[in-house]
Structure 1
Amino acid sequence: MNALTKPANATDARRAARSHILTPRLETPFHPRLAALDEVNDWYNWAGYKAPHALFDEELEYFAIRSTAALFDISPMVKYRIAGADAERYLNRLTLRDVRKLPVGRVHYTAWCDDDGHVLDDGTLFRLGEQEFRLCCQERHLSWLLDSAFGFTVEIHEETEAIAGVALQGPTSYAVLAEAGFAGVERLKPFDIATFAHDGGTVTISRTGFTGDLGYELFVPRQTALSLWDRLWTAGDGHGIRAIGYAALNRTRIEAGFIVANADFVTAEGALRADRVRLPDEIGLDWLVDPDKPNFNGRRAVLDARRNQTLRHVLVGLEIEGNVPAEHAIVYHRGKREAGLVTAAIWSPTAKRNIAIASLTRPYGTRFVDDLWVEIYAMRELKYQKMMKRAKIVPRPFVKLARRTATPPGLR
């Protein structure tokens, strides 16, 4: 080894040591199409995947959802296939809702807790067969799912990488599917699932979404993802179809009053402090809890908290005066005593209101519901301006669209 090779090898060693930083994020099956449409190079990390925060303009992408049709890549959403003789019994033990009431060909929104009743995550459960399910969620839980399966005859595996998913949302979304040749999709009611032919195989279409609008989610094997995108894109040419990023989707989910794990609440596995975890009733998920079904994880803790009135938090919708979004603003009672924190906020173009989702510490939000204020810091010409704005508790969703549930949907 000569003197000239040592520095080079040392450099290579240093580069290898930090290769975890240089390694590109995973690319979804739809990434080639998204990259071709990207104009702003605004990407973020979603569960290890490269995902667009925006593709061309956040405002226009929002209006594509509310005015025409929008395609959003949901492939990074964590997906588990759960099957076996005890699949129903296992999921009924794991989750809050009664899985026995979920028919084949339907989806329901659910959540699951640790033994102390603290929410681990929320997501959607697809019943694909009598004993075959797909669980979709925000965080990875394979170890927890496998540990919880002790004593059950069930197989669980992650299929995030193998299954591509895309959300088609907006008032012309049904028109796009009809144009694409998915005959019979008009019969799907909200939370229905159906299978259609595509590219020598099948595509599973559910009437679901995260926008509070008319919409669908489509799932295919990874190898037929691009042909599905092209089929939808071609069909949507006359219906105003656009590809969108998360920023636009996030606006619509706030309008719909939907919550996001580790944004509106901290998951039990992700919490570093004991006071950050939440029971279902503390984040507006009390309606998911079925106290009449057999035992489920956290059942005793959830029902004891109700009976003993030891719930500490409440998630509420707020309408705030003015038009400056109050994201991460502190909520005060009578302008003096801290009552909680805003977890998500926007000026809603559809509702024409300044809206927010906030986590309040009881009794604020339950006994004390009036004289609430938010402290907003707005940047004005390189200087923060402090504003105290009145807030009032209002029902969620902030935006409720009749087309979301209309069956058959209109073609627009």
Structure 2
Amino acid sequence: TKAALLDITPLYKYIIEGRDAQAFLNRLVTRNISICKIGQVMYTPWCDENGKQIDDGTVQRLSGQKFRITSAEPNLEWIQINASGMDLSISDDSKTTAALALQGPNSRAILNSIASDSLDSLKFFWMMDSNFGKVPVSISRTGYTGDLGYEIWMDPTDALEVWDLLLEKGKYYGITPTGLHALDMARIEAGLILLDVDYISSRHAIIEARKSSPYELGLGWAVKLKKKDFIGKKALEAEHARGPTWEFVGIEIQWSQLEDHYRKVGLPPGLPHTAWRTSTPLFKGNEQVGYATSGCWSPILKRYIAL
């Protein structure tokens, strides 16, 4: 589609504010928050003491001493426990801030037709304040699709008005309200991981083998070992030195080979028409060499792909 509109309000959102906010977040996550400027957004994982990933999300620097962190699962208690003794406040922003995602090649044109400020110079992973008429909003150039896209943050009482306005202005640009099935397809094409699908939070994994590190999930670039101590640093340093046990990769399913497998057992070949989220073993001969966690037909690549 030329522009997709999604409701991402269900994301968990926490405000961390105070003199020690930067130092605290720098200890909490693997990215170097000390270089995050006001108005900048950083994607980051965070880990337990053993270097196994708990969750991943974004950190927004709203002001000098104020940050918003987003996550897929509730993390408030874990954040509060780790903030003991620090000069800061932590509040749950999940129900006090609504968020909509506008993704696709025409997303910028739609927003420029509505916002009081041009988005032409807004860089990837930066945000700005603006207005949709009389409605104050924050707009970040972020998303979960791999395409040009933005996320719009606002008071929940304004969310329906903003939604309707985007659909009204967007009808000239091919806008389509979109759900999780389409989002799943887009994020698989982009190779973006999903908690509880592509990896299990280390807090919930029943056995050690189900836990994953950022290096195993292809997020080694987001682990900044040169910064001061952070949760899981020692374990991640050791893993970086020896290399990860396994790696997260994208794969292509060859249709001709798949047809042969079905033909051998007298069945017609078939694959799901929507993205799937099922742990599927991968074999080399008779030996299992890994497993796929999600996959779909890619309209962009014209191939069947999986992660």
Shift of 1:182: 3.7
Counterpart of 1:277 in structure 2 is 211
Q: Aligned partners of 2:112 and 2:198: how far apart in 1?
A: 36
Q: State the TM-score, normalized to the length of structure 1.
A: 0.68
Secondary structure of the residue aligned to 2:252 is strand
1:94 aligns with 2:28: yes
Q: Given the alignment, which residue of 139, 145, 148 partners 2:73?
A: 139
Counterpart of 1:371 in structure 2 is none
Could you list the per-position Cα deviations for residues 293-336 of structure 1 after superposition, in whole angstroms to 9, with x for gaps in the alignment? 00000000111122244x32211111120184685331112x21
Counterpart of 1:11 in structure 2 is none
Counterpart of 1:313 in structure 2 is 246
Q: Is the 8 A contact 2:115 2:131 kept in 1?
A: no
Q: Given the alignment, which residue of 122, 139, 153 partners 2:87?
A: 153
Shift of 1:183: 2.5
Secondary structure of the residue aligned to 1:291 is coil
Q: Given the alignment, which residue of 289, 292, 304 partners 1:342?
A: 292
Secondary structure of the residue aligned to 1:280 is coil
Q: Aligned partners of 1:151 and 1:115: how far apart in 2?
A: 19
Q: State the TM-score, normalized to the length of structure 2.
A: 0.91
Counterpart of 1:260 in structure 2 is 194
Shift of 1:356: 1.0
Larger Rg: 1
1:328 aligns with 2:262: no
Q: Aligned partners of 2:177 and 2:116: how far apart in 1?
A: 20
Shift of 1:226: 1.3
> For structure 1, which segment, 137-146 or 312-321, has the greater mean C-alpha deviation from structure 2 after superposition?
312-321
Unaligned runs of 5+ residues in structure 2 are 259-270
Q: Is the 8 A contact 2:76 2:92 kept in 1?
A: yes
Runs (4+) off by over 6 Å: none
Shift of 1:201: 4.7
Q: Aligned partners of 1:356 and 1:315: how far apart in 2?
A: 11
1:231 aligns with 2:158: no
> For structure 1, which segment, 348-357 or 91-100, has the greater mean C-alpha deviation from structure 2 after superposition?
348-357
Secondary structure of the residue aligned to 1:211 is coil
**Letter in structure 2 aligned against 1:348:** S
**Letter in structure 2 aligned against 1:346:** C
Counterpart of 2:121 in structure 1 is 187
Trace 1:387-406 onto structure 2 (pairs within 5 A): none
**Root mean square deviation of aligned Cα:** 1.5
Q: Aligned partners of 2:304 and 2:242: how far apart in 1?
A: 36
1:124 aligns with 2:58: yes
Q: Aligned partners of 1:201 and 1:342: how far apart in 2?
A: 44
Counterpart of 2:301 in structure 1 is 351
Shift of 1:344: 1.0
Secondary structure of the residue aligned to 2:171 is helix
Secondary structure of the residue aligned to 2:184 is helix
Q: Aligned partners of 2:47 and 2:147: how far apart in 1?
A: 29
Q: Aligned partners of 2:100 and 2:234: how far apart in 1?
A: 38
Q: Aligned partners of 1:223 and 1:157: how far apart in 2?
A: 19
Secondary structure of the residue aligned to 2:239 is helix
Could you list the per-position Cα deviations for residues 130-151 of structure 1 after superposition, in whole angstroms to 9, with x for gaps in the alignment? 1111101101011110011012
> For structure 1, which segment, 174-183 or 85-94, has the greater mean C-alpha deviation from structure 2 after superposition?
174-183
Unaligned runs of 5+ residues in structure 1 are 1-63, 358-412
Shift of 1:199: 5.5
Counterpart of 2:268 in structure 1 is none
**Letter in structure 1 aligned against 2:287:** R
Q: Is the 8 A contact 1:117 1:298 kept in 2?
A: yes
Q: What's the % identity of the aligned pairs?
A: 38
Q: Given the alignment, which residue of 167, 177, 182 partners 1:243?
A: 177
Q: Is the 8 A contact 1:112 1:120 kept in 2?
A: yes
Q: Is the 8 A contact 2:6 2:102 kept in 1?
A: yes
1:76 aligns with 2:10: yes
Q: Aligned partners of 1:173 and 1:307: how far apart in 2?
A: 42
Could you list the per-position Cα deviations for residues 55-87 of structure 1 after superposition, in whole angstroms to 9, with x for gaps in the alignment? xxxxxxxxx2xxx11110000011111111111
**Letter in structure 2 aligned against 1:319:** E
**Letter in structure 2 aligned against 1:351:** L
Could you list the per-position Cα deviations for residues 106-162 of structure 1 after superposition, in whole angstroms to 9, with x for gaps in the alignment? 111101011111101000111111111110110101111001101211111111111
Aligned residues: 289
Q: Is the 8 A contact 1:268 1:277 kept in 2?
A: yes
Q: Is the 8 A contact 1:199 1:224 kept in 2?
A: no
Q: Is the 8 A contact 1:199 1:227 kept in 2?
A: no
Q: Aligned partners of 1:153 and 1:237: how far apart in 2?
A: 48
Q: Is the 8 A contact 2:114 2:133 kept in 1?
A: no
Q: Aligned partners of 2:304 and 2:168: how far apart in 1?
A: 37
Q: Aligned partners of 2:115 and 2:79: how far apart in 1?
A: 38
Counterpart of 2:136 in structure 1 is 202
Q: Is the 8 A contact 2:115 2:132 kept in 1?
A: no
Q: Aligned partners of 2:17 and 2:157: how far apart in 1?
A: 23
Secondary structure of the residue aligned to 2:293 is strand
